[in-house]
């Protein structure tokens, strides 16, 4: 392990980097290779590669069972799943969403000419603030999409009440929240429907993939038609649809991953606990907490950097870490409202989003997952301790580097 005692030992000032190869925020979780390969051989033998194959059906069944939800509809990715869910529940006009989310939440609306109206977040939970949501309701509002950012449930109960009171549809973007609970009930059971992502970077992955989960029988039937071009049987199209189907290889990966979820959580939890210990007591560096009473996937290790206390900004710290080959990342920066087409459509949206802008400028996501262990966590924490502990000094040195 590299000796890292003071600022002069940092790679950004000329020393060797802490890691030879890049340490990523998250490398995909892969379950038993043997089981996956057996399933792939099996589906190749069967030559049933897609179109409601046996693995997709099994994956949907196991997923629904795991979440304790009536219906799980596997999809090619969460963005298409969001688009389909939005259409299936009949959203139109304006829909209220946080800006502090991955761009797909907003795009899934705008793609269908529905206006995403950005509501501010709670600075502590990073999730959309119910009072901000209520403030953004207009006669054109048809629904709300809450996002469970970092897998921490958003204000599900308050949003449910607001939706009821104003007769709005309620969806949740649960892309981060596979295997997480709210009030002891698994995420997937709330609102009209929830959407999960199984993208390679997510807690459970199917290479690319997603699912709509719902307890609503009619919605289930509608979504199943929509994701398969509206086919109700051979040569019989009864609805407008698209192609949102999951393929058999993805489903085989999903089933295999489901069998290893406990191991994935255990590794994430161990990394998280180690970060907690190693980052404790650094002024201006705050590690985001998970609610120990709920089930969580601990997929994201998120630190907030208070530049006034550390003397070094989050962005400067990112530069320091990248020089060491630790590819820590800013997240949801600069916020959907500062990306196109929203930046041009709503140039003043930021005025109503002060918490979003502040959190987006402070959040730092650190490497974890099954390819990261104690060495990586301890070294990453050490770099942060040294850089943030002498923040002003680092800042001055960085300025001379760039001048």
Q: How far is the CB of 23 from ligand PLP (least distance, A)?
A: 21
Q: Which of 87, 107, 199, 337 binds ligand PLP (CB under 6 A)?
A: 199
Sheet of 301-305, strand order: 285-287, 301-305, 363-366
Contacts of 262 (CB under 8 A, 6+ apart): none
Q: Are strands 231-233 and 210-214 parallel, antiparallel or unpaired?
A: unpaired
| Cβ closest to ligand PLP, residue 7 vs residue 109 | 109
Question: What's the chain's Rg over C-alpha atoms?
Answer: 22
Please report the DSSP string for 23-37 in residue order: EESBPPP---HHHHH
Residue 194 makes contact with ligand PLP by CB under 6 A: no
| Cβ closest to ligand PLP, residue 105 vs residue 381 | 105
Binding to ligand PLP, residues 161-190 (CB under 6 A): 173, 175-176
| Cβ closest to ligand PLP, residue 77 vs residue 99 | 77
Instruction: Measure the CA–CA gap between 48 and 218, rounded to whole angstroms.
Output: 28
Binding to ligand PLP, residues 122-161 (CB under 6 A): 147
Residue 77 makes contact with ligand PLP by CB under 6 A: yes
Q: Which of 19, 59, 102, 331 binds ligand PLP (CB under 6 A)?
A: 102
Instruction: Measure the CA–CA gap between 161 and 50, rounded to whole angstroms.
Output: 40
Task: Check: CB of residue 305 under 8 Å from CB of residue 284.
Answer: yes
327-364 residues labelled b (16+ CB within 10 A) or e (exposed): bbbebbbebbbbbeebeeebeebbebbebbbebbbbbb
Q: Which of 99, 105, 228, 380 binds ligand PLP (CB under 6 A)?
A: 105
| Cβ closest to ligand PLP, residue 80 vs residue 163 | 80
| Cβ closest to ligand PLP, residue 102 vs residue 118 | 102
Q: Prior bond to 341 cis, omega within 30? A: yes
| Cβ closest to ligand PLP, residue 23 vs residue 149 | 149
Q: Which of 141, 142, 189, 197 binds ligand PLP (CB under 6 A)?
A: 197
Residue 79 makes contact with ligand PLP by CB under 6 A: yes
Instruction: Measure the CA–CA gap between 396 and 311, rounded to whole angstroms.
Output: 10
Instruction: Measure the CA–CA gap between 267 and 169, rounded to whole angstroms.
Output: 37
Element (H, E) at 351: none
- Beta bridge mates, 326: 23
Residue 78 makes contact with ligand PLP by CB under 6 A: yes
Structural tokens at position 374: 């104690």
Tell the burial category of 45 from Cβ atoms under 10 Å away from its Cβ (0-12, 13-18, 19+).
exposed
| Cβ closest to ligand PLP, residue 77 vs residue 355 | 77
Q: Which of 210, 241, 244, 254 binds ligand PLP (CB under 6 A)?
A: 210
Instruction: Measure the CA–CA gap between 211 and 227, rounded to whole angstroms.
Output: 11
Residue 29 makes contact with ligand PLP by CB under 6 A: no
| Cβ closest to ligand PLP, residue 178 vs residue 318 | 178
Structural tokens at position 197: 């992502």
Residue 99 makes contact with ligand PLP by CB under 6 A: no
| Cβ closest to ligand PLP, residue 60 vs residue 316 | 60
- Which phi and psi angles does 174 have, rounded to 5°? -105, 30
Only one of the segments 38-46, 74-82, 248-256, 357-365 lies at the binding site for ligand PLP (rule: CB under 6 A); that segment is 74-82
Task: Check: CB of residue 117 under 8 Å from CB of residue 96.
Answer: yes
Q: How far is the CB of 390 from ligand PLP (least distance, A)?
A: 34
Residue 101 makes contact with ligand PLP by CB under 6 A: yes
Only one of the segments 53-61, 101-109, 129-137, 333-341 lies at the binding site for ligand PLP (rule: CB under 6 A); that segment is 101-109
Q: Which of 89, 104, 121, 318 binds ligand PLP (CB under 6 A)?
A: 104
- Site size toward ligand PLP (CB under 6 A) is 14
| Cβ closest to ligand PLP, residue 209 vs residue 389 | 209
Residue 224 makes contact with ligand PLP by CB under 6 A: no
Binding site for ligand PLP (CB under 6 A): 77-79, 101-102, 104-105, 147, 173, 175-176, 197, 199, 210
């Amino acid at each position: 392990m590299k000796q890292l005692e003071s600022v002069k030992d940092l790679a950004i000032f000329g020393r060797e980097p802490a890691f030879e190869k890049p340490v990523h925020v998250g490398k995909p979780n892969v379950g038993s290779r043997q089981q996956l390969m057996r399933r792939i051989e099996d589906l190749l033998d069967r030559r049933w590669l897609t179109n409601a194959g046996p693995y997709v059906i099994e994956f949907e069944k196991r997923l629904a069972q795991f979440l304790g939800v009536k219906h799980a509809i596997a999809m090619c990715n969460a963005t298409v799943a969001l688009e389909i869910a939005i259409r299936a529940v009949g959203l139109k006009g304006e829909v209220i969403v946080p800006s502090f989310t991955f761009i797909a939440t907003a795009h899934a609306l705008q793609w269908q000419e529905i206006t995403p109206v950005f509501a501010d977040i709670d600075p502590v939970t990073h999730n959309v603030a119910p009072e901000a949501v209520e403030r953004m309701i207009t006669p054109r509002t048809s629904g709300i999409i809450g996002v469970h950012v970092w897998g921490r449930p958003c204000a599900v109960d308050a949003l449910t009440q607001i939706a009821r009171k104003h007769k709005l549809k309620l969806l949740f973007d649960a892309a981060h929240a596979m295997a997480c609970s709210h009030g002891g009930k698994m995420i997937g059971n709330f609102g009209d429907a929830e959407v999960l992502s199984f993208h390679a970077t997510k807690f459970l992955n199917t290479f690319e993939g997603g699912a709509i989960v719902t307890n609503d029988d009619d919605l289930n039937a509608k979504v199943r038609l929509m994701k398969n071009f509206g086919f109700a049987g051979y040569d019989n199209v009864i609805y407008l649809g698209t192609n949102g189907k999951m393929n058999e290889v993805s489903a085989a990966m999903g089933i295999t991953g489901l069998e290893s979820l406990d191991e994935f959580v255990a590794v994430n939890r161990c990394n998280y606990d180690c970060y907690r210990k190693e980052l404790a007591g650094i002024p201006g560096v705050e590690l985001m907490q998970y609610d120990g009473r709920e089930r969580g996937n601990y997929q994201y290790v998120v630190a907030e950097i208070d530049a006034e206390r550390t003397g070094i900004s989050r962005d400067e710290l990112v530069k320091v870490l990248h020089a060491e080959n630790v590819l820590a990342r800013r997240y949801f920066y600069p916020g959907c409202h500062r990306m196109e087409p929203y930046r041009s459509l709503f140039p003043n949206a930021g005025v109503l989003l002060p918490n979003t802008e502040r959190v987006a400028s402070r959040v730092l996501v650190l490497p974890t997952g099954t390819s990261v262990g104690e060495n990586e966590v301890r070294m990453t924490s050490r770099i942060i301790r040294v850089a943030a502990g002498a923040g002003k000094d680092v800042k001055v040195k960085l300025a001379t580097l760039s001048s």
